[in-house]
Amino acid sequence: MKKSSDESFLINRIKSVKYAVNGAVHLLKTEGSIQIQVSIALIMTVIGFFFHLSPFEWMAQFLAMGLVITAESLNTAIEKLADFIHPDYHLKIGIIKDISAGAAVFAAVVAIIIGAIIYMPKILSFF
Ligand SMILES: Nc1ncnc2c1ncn2[C@@H]1O[C@H](COP(=O)(O)OP(=O)(O)OP(=O)(O)O)[C@@H](O)[C@H]1O
């Protein structure tokens, strides 16, 4: 009895991961904002190799990129939920969407600050 409930728990966890991966693939295939953020992340990774980032700088850069892509993904989910619940114009839907987009702005500002801390000294050292 215990064993079969453990097995179904494991199967449910594996299914959840599969659904989550499907969601990530859906975002990558259909959402322009996510495609742009992932493209920026790939470009920043190439730039990171060019500037020989330290392990700590790599960690900070990947955390920043992950934060932005995560915030953008959640913003997309909230926008879609809002459109589904209330397809017509409504002041509160507008505020909810603005707040959701605001979270992505916070993430982007943090990423820009981290990028400046990593790259400004390297760029300035060229001059
Ligand atoms: N149903 C609505 N009612 C009121 N205001 C809305 C509504 N839909 C959108 N808005 C306003 O328009 C803004 C943009 O909404 P929209 O859903 O087009 O997001 P977006 O940032 O352009 O995302 P995307 O281009 O990824 O769809 C919202 O932040 C909100 O201010």
ipTM for the complex?
A: 0.90
Fold of 31-124: Helix Hairpins (1.10.287)
- How far does residue 69's CA lie from ligand 1's centre (Å)? 19
Res 30 pLDDT > 60: yes
Q: Give the model's pLDDT for residue 5.
A: 73
Of all protein residues, the one whose alpha carbon is nearest to atom 10 of ligand 1 is 94
Which one of 27, 31, 78, 79 would you pick to mutate in the ligand 1 pocket, going by the greatest count of ligand atoms within 8 A of its CB?
Answer: 79
Q: Which residues of 37-69 are buried (b: 16+ CB within 10 A; e: fewer)?
A: bbeebeebeeebeeeebeeebeebbeebbebbb
Going by CA atoms, what residue is nearest to atom 30 of ligand 1? 94
Per residue in 68-84, pLDDT (tens digit) is: 999 999 999 999 999 99
Kindly report the pTM of this predicted structure: 0.90
Both ends of the chain: CA-CA distance in Å? 70
Cβ neighbors of 107 (< 8 A, separation 6 or more) are 67, 68, 70, 71, 72
Nearest CA to ligand 1 atom 2: 89
Q: Are 106 and 98 in contact (CB under 8 A)?
A: no
Q: What is the pLDDT of residue 6?
A: 75
Mean pLDDT over 9-36 rounds to 96
Q: Is 97 in the pocket of ligand 1 (CB under 6 A)?
A: yes
Distance, in Å, from the CA atom of 89 to the CA atom of 9, rounded to the nearest integer, reads: 42
| CA of 32, closest atom in ligand 1 | 26
